[in-house]
Amino acid sequence: MTLNVYLSGEIHTDWRDQIIAGARDLDLDIAFFAPVTDHGASDDCGVAILGAEERKFWHDRKGAQLNAIRTRMGIEQADVVVVRFGEKYKQWNAAFDAGYAAALGKSLIVMHGADHQHALKEVDAAAQAVTETPQQVVDCLRYVLTGALPG
């Protein structure tokens, strides 16, 4: 059984790399998917491919719709969706992905710091696990796949 895991949310720290490396070190049978994490490419992909726009609103729209092809595919094919809320920015797209995943009945693992706990209570309430560190996410995935506990 290969576990399909989509890693949604924050793109400014290396949390995805940590989870992927942690899973690889444990030889876990997991296929990871993620959005495009090159911020510039993600913002400008629409106009770069489909033509420039004068208004920022449509510039953003073209990019967001193109990115949505990848995001929706990633969430729909996932067994588990991990959503990371970082320290900065609004990150509404992360919460949007969490809602989308929840409505599809996907298992949700949320990762965020303690200071965001109250603001994220509705998202946490839809999750199977609320974590703070990449290591905890790896431990959850290992347990789900193998039944082994850390330590």
Question: Between residue 5 and residue 44, which ones bind its own copies under the rule CB under 8 A?
Answer: 31, 33, 36-38, 41-42, 44
By CB under 8 A, tell whether 151 contacts its own copies: yes
Secondary structure (DSSP) of 45-89? HHHHHH---SSHHHHHHHHHHHHHHHHHHHHHH-SEEEEE--SSS
**Calpha distance 97→51 (Å, rounded):** 27
Asked if 125 is part of the footprint of its own copies (rule: CB under 8 A), the reply reads yes
Asked if 130 interacts with its own copies (CB under 8 A), we say yes
- Interface residue with its own copies, options 10, 91, 111, 134 (CB under 8 A): 91
Among 19, 30, 80, 82, the residue binding its own copies under the rule CB under 8 A is 80
| Whether 103 contacts 29, CB under 8 Å | no
